Structure 1
């Protein structure tokens, strides 16, 4: 992969964690806890010197509405519906937003 395409945050993390895999998370995932596997786009390997190496995509990744290029939600109901449609929320949460 072209090194210019690697996000700076990944390069910084690779320098701080040589010999580890550095993941990149979908921008919709904003919770403080560790993201589920389906919210991780992929990861880069940091070699022993902290340089970015191999990239592997996550076949289980579910892109969010933002990544899919959907329009910004117009209201809380629309936002809940988009989250439910992409797996970042539930149908029950979307129905609750209607109430």
Structure 2
């Protein structure tokens, strides 16, 4: 039964997944553009340099002078589904 539920969830979400991805990427790009240059070098959807990790955070801000790395992973809930998407 759990496999059937997962299959149903996949089929239901597949229809809207492109719209969700576009909304996520729009917000991600807006956030990345808002980061002031003094904070550091901004990379979007890139592997973490200097590691063998396969993870790709949405936004990575690297400031080598301050020896800081900030990783941001954007999460966008859809509470109102399609109406909320069209309102944005």
TM-score, with length taken from structure 1: 0.23
Q: Which has the higher helix share?
A: 2
TM-score, with length taken from structure 2: 0.24
